[in-house]
Homo-oligomer: A and B are copies of this chain.
Amino acid sequence: MRVVPFKFEANTFWLLDQRQLPLEEAWVACHTAVDAADGIHDMVVRGAPAIGVTAAYGMVLAHLSGENPTEADQVLRKSRPTAVNLFYALDRMKPHWGDLEGSLREARAIWDEVEQTELAISQNGARVLKGQVLTHCNTGPLATGGYGTALGAIIEAHRQGRVSHVWVDETRPYLQGARLTAYELQKVGVPATLITDNMAAYFMSKGQVDAVILGTDRMALNGDFANKIGTYGVAVLAHYHEIPFYPALPLSSVDPRLETGEAIPIEERSGLEVTTVHGIPMAPEGFPAAHPAFDVTSHALVTGIVTEKGVLYPPFDESLRLAMGLLD
């Protein structure tokens, strides 16, 4: 059973509201590119590949609703600035702006390619995983529309009998691990245990984590990568405990304009998302909170990069360029 985060039906792009999961399965209708951009910004849909597919269908909606394509493109580009898939998908939609049939075909092609790519990522990642695996945030079908990236690899490795148990970081403040990864693992029957983010080091020190695999929002050409806040800390902890650490991603999440991760912009979100949970205040009223939504992990902490072209090893500035066809 695979979960689907969106569907296109009757000229409407429907988003499964991931903010309501796992308690409720509610669908949000998008009739315009602005609706789709709001869905991305408000995290009705999240995960880099799923954001790319949503943006592509956003441009289909722009055509259907008569929005100005330049404005639609701009509003979609601004909806989630860290996600390179957004720009990749919108760049591919541009030649089809005036053409409904062409833009529908291109959006569907982007979605199909996501599925094929993630099938390959899942199979490649499964080969390097064994025993007990820890993951952070959500990288399953809900985040992608396909098979998932890091979570796809975990599910495939479990199917092959290689992975026995998953530690699921709850992933504050949005609790994507508790809400979404737990939901997806429960649906497919993979044994898993939820932990608070601050328990990862404890289970690592007990020898109960054999590998870490997680997603990537955006990677530089040297292997530095941005991902959900907390990823960098897990990388340092895995390094200290000599546990293999793998980011998984489609090569479309590599930004060929970035030599290193230093220039990746970090989205700052509202502190209210830290101080309240489901609208209930957790801290004294008016207490300041920081909310960098992502962090950047150095390639020096990475064991291997799981991609659709195989698992890449250091030096990443060479292996990544080779996989991307950027070397002769």
Q: Interface residues, chain A, CB within 8 Å of chain B?
A: 22-23, 169-173, 175, 178-179, 182-183, 186, 192-203, 205, 229-230, 232-234, 236-237, 239-240, 271, 274-275, 277-278, 280-290, 292, 295
Contact = CB atoms under 8 A, between A and B. Distances in A.
Contact of A233 (B186, B192, B200): B200
Nearest to A199: B229
A194 B230 contact: no
B284 A182 contact: yes
Q: Count copies of this chain in the complex.
A: 2
30 contacts: A22-B281, A22-B283, A22-B284, A22-B285, A23-B281, A169-B198, A170-B172, A170-B282, A172-B172, A178-B275, A182-B284, A193-B289, A193-B290, A194-B271, A194-B287, A196-B229, A196-B230, A197-B197, A198-B229, A199-B230, A201-B236, A201-B295, A202-B232, A202-B295, A205-B295, A233-B233, A233-B237, A236-B237, A277-B277, A280-B280
Contacts of A205: 232, 295
B274 A277 contact: no
Nearest to A174: B196
The binding surface of chain A is classed by DSSP as: mixed
Given A277-B280, A283-B182, A283-B194, A292 B237 contact: no
Contact of A202 (B23, B169, B233): B233
A233 B202 CA distance: 7
Contacts of A289: 193-195
A201 B280 contact: no
Contacts of A271: 194
